[in-house]
Copies of this chain bind each other. A is one copy, B any other.
């Protein structure tokens, strides 16, 4: 294998595939990056066996040469070293050449590295995915949907299925739900393509977080293929594979109460800031529980009290309140996570009593919903 390549394109490709490389892996070759030079260009691959990322660097683009292939071939190089080397090389172009015994020379200007490579044939194959059911969605919309749901997945392995986001595709609609059993986040949006069949997948939260990092904020279409145990995301020059979580995701449709006893409409930004301040004196080890009081006169107060430190009372101006008066306690962290998703938009909260989960929605957007379970205080 021997080729010359534009360094900035190589750095970008390496940055992408590094998102899948873990230094803690039981399969030694996966600490490496697979580099393959072929007729069309150079393909880089990184994988931790849960996530695999493939980045393609074409020979040329928009009439500009990016890669010059002298001799096709492949090698696996230690990701940690290869990454820091290509980032720090002195010139705009880099030459990579494999000699005998997998010895690989990386050359740029008067800088020359010799790395011990690993045999490319020993690198695990990427999942084979049949492409008869290709879904399509704008990249930036998908990024937003991920951000609006993934924070609510469980971080505990007690119920592994809850560490993923539940995707349900039916009738041209993608519905994403995440819950850690204390709170729930839901977002839906239209999706195109596909063969019209209902489709389900529970995608690990970690995969979605990594995917979000490498996807560009563009309205370009992203292709999605879901199989029984894998999902593939295909953007320009990047393939992202993730395994799916096995098992049945709990039915969350019945968790959302249909009735309401108290309704509060409030400015999202002011409410978030008041909760944030009230949480300052709430005990962290108890999830920063704060108390919300809605009086008969429509007065809204947020408070917390930790006797050894002090107490705080915040009065917030609401847009409107309806129904019964209410005293309810909840995790300030969960409330702030939920309100951040609404990005300051006016928010409506529907309560059905101090012990029942309550529902948050932006008043002008019915595609997002958040649910929070209150905390019993004594």
Contacts and interface: CB of A to CB of B under 8 A. Distances in A.
Interface of A: 78, 81, 84-85, 88-90, 104, 110-116, 273-274, 276-277, 280-281, 308-317
Contacts of A277: 85, 88-90, 111
Contacts of A311: 113-114
A81 B281 contact: yes
A316 B90 CA distance: 11
Contacts of A314: 110-112
Contacts of A317: 110
Contacts of A116: 308-310
Given A85-B280, A88-B277, A110 B310 contact: no
A317 B113 CA distance: 18
A333 B87 CA distance: 18
A273 B104 CA distance: 22
Contacts of A89: 277
A211 to B, nearest CB: 29
A131 B36 CA distance: 72
A24 B85 CA distance: 40
B309 A81 contact: yes
B310 A81 contact: yes
Contacts of A274: 90, 111
Most buried by B among A85, A277, A309: A277
A308 B314 CA distance: 62
Nearest to A117: B310
Given A273-B90, A280-B84, A113 B312 contact: yes
A272 to B, nearest CB: 11
A114 B276 contact: no
A78 B309 contact: yes
Nearest to A278: B111
23 contacts: A78-B309, A88-B273, A88-B277, A88-B280, A89-B277, A90-B274, A110-B314, A110-B315, A110-B316, A110-B317, A111-B274, A111-B277, A111-B312, A111-B315, A112-B312, A112-B313, A113-B280, A113-B311, A113-B312, A114-B312, A115-B310, A116-B308, A116-B309
A233 to B, nearest CB: 32
Given A81-B310, A111-B313, 10 more contacts: A84-B280, A88-B273, A88-B277, A90-B277, A110-B316, A111-B277, A112-B313, A112-B314, A115-B310, A116-B308
A229 B138 CA distance: 66
A68 to B, nearest CB: 23
Contacts of A273: 88, 90
A79 to B, nearest CB: 12
A44 to B, nearest CB: 19
A15 B181 CA distance: 39
A373 to B, nearest CB: 26
A228 to B, nearest CB: 40
A309 B115 contact: yes
A90 B315 CA distance: 11
A48 B313 CA distance: 32
A167 B195 CA distance: 77
A314 B104 CA distance: 16
Contacts of A81: 280-281, 309-310
Contacts of A113: 280-281, 310-312
A166 to B, nearest CB: 35
